[in-house]
Amino acid sequence: MRPASLRPALLPQRERGRARVASLMAAAAALFVEKGYDATTMTEIASRAGAAIGSLYLFFPVKQTLAQAIMADLASRLSARLEALQDRVRARHAAEIADALFDELAQFLAENPVYAVLLDLPGDEDWRSAIRLQRRGQIAQLFNQASPALAPAQAERLALIVPQLMRTAMVVSGQSPALREGLFDELRSMLRHHLAWQHRDPLSSAAADPTSSA
């Protein structure tokens, strides 16, 4: 493996180029999901996209740039969705926000399984942390607008938790449909109750918690 070239990824100028880049990214995404990032070879990607290996390198001079490009695209799509969501749930109860967020993420991950694959790669490159950070920020924002208001620290924690809960749901996508369905509801309700509990009438708190370990 020679040192990665410094040449930046060529930006496709014409329509034809943009289509080609899209098909290369699609092929790569599909393969990353099927076999994992490491096990997928550049040659395989090119060939699945019906392109020559040279063409692939024209646009993505280093394998990682493919991952980055795919993730940049998905991150911005997700970001847009979350932004739209933000408008819809402003000033709702945290439980409702969680519910909506849950659905949004579920749909997104179902449509773009490669997102999880690439975000969970070992190693911690900067661009990956950056994407995670941005997502966390956006989700925290979402919860910060809840009414009644959440403690900012909890919003932070939820921003970490919710996406992971989603991954749980995804992991079992290979399971029987019935199980998956139930699982989904269970997770969603768990989250909802959690938030409901924390923001119920504080007076009844201590007495009502049958699980308090104290």
Partner DNA sequence: CATGAATGAGTTTTCATTCAT
Partner DNA sequence: GATGAATGAAAACTCATTCAT
Q: Using CB distances below 5 to 8 A depending on partner kind, what does residue 51 bind out of its own copies, DNA, none?
A: DNA
Q: Between 7 and 90, whose beta carbon lies closer to DNA?
A: 7
Q: Cβ-count burial of 84 within 10 angstroms (0-12 exposed, 13-18 middle, 19+ buried)?
A: exposed
Which residues in the 59-98 window bind DNA by CB under 7 A?
Answer: 61-64
Binding of residue 8 to DNA (CB under 7 A):
no
Rounded to 5°, the CA angle 149-151-153 comes to: 145
Stretch that binds DNA, among 36-44, 114-122, 179-187, 205-213 (CB under 7 A): 36-44
CB of 143 to its own copies, least distance (A): 12
Q: Are 31 and 48 contacting, i.e. CB atoms less than 8 angstroms apart? A: yes
- Count of residues interacting with its own copies (CB under 8 A): 53
Q: Cβ-count burial of 59 within 10 angstroms (0-12 exposed, 13-18 middle, 19+ buried)?
A: buried
Residue from 41, 57, 67, 49 nearest 8 by CA? 57
CB of 101 to DNA, least distance (A): 36
Q: Are 111 and 166 contacting, i.e. CB atoms less than 8 angstroms apart? A: no
Residue 4: both structure tokens together: 């990665």
Judged by CB under 7 A, the residue of 3, 8, 174, 210 near DNA is: 3
Q: Using CB distances below 5 to 8 A depending on partner kind, what does residue 17 bind out of its own copies, DNA, none?
A: DNA
Q: What binding mask, one character per residue, do residues 84-103 give for its own copies by CB under 8 A, x or -?
A: ---------x-xx--x----
Stretch that binds its own copies, among 22-30, 70-78, 81-89, 173-181 (CB under 8 A): 173-181
What own/partner pairs with CB < 8 Å and gap ≥ 24 does 186-192 have? 187/102, 188/99, 188/102, 190/165, 191/95, 191/98, 191/99, 191/102, 191/162, 191/165, 192/95, 192/98, 192/99
Where does this chain bind DNA (CB under 7 A)? 1-7, 10, 12-14, 16-17, 19-20, 39-43, 51-55, 57-58, 61-64
Where does this chain bind its own copies (CB under 8 A)? 1-4, 35-39, 93, 95-96, 99, 117, 120-124, 153-154, 156-158, 160-161, 164-165, 167-168, 171-172, 174-175, 179, 182-183, 186-187, 189-197, 200, 209-211, 213
